[in-house]
Amino acid sequence: MLMLNYKLHEQIRKLRQARNITQVELGKRLGVTKACVCNWEADNAQPSVEMLVRMAAFFAVSTDYLLGFEPREYLDVTGLPDETVSHLRQIVDDLKASGNKG
């Protein structure tokens, strides 16, 4: 039996806050009202599959990450020069080594 730590509402809130945007701003970017975002974050309503995909694209995470299937968050470096990607890897490695996770 698959056990899922289904906390979509927490993931939405966490990702929104990490990007320092309000519920109103997220709603505008996704084409929904603040009330929709508020209901998702309060776990009063679930986004549609289409909206889940749009959120994943907006936050640059997988739908599996949003749904709790994948515990890791990825950073999309598509299009960045190799040297920049290398620098970012080094920064991440340094942060992990220092124990600074956020």
Residues of the chain with CATH 1.10.260.40: 1-71
pLDDT beyond 90 at 60: no
Q: Among candidates 60, 61, 80, which has minimal Cα distance to 72?
A: 61
Region 51-58: mean pLDDT is 94
- For residue 100, what pLDDT is reported? 60
Residues 61 and 73 sit within 8 Å (Cβ to Cβ): yes
* pTM over 0.95, yes/no: no
Region 2-21: mean pLDDT is 82
pLDDT beyond 80 at 95: yes
Region 2-26: mean pLDDT is 85
- For residue 7, what pLDDT is reported? 85
Q: Domain 1-71: what homologous superfamily?
A: lambda repressor-like DNA-binding domains (1.10.260.40)
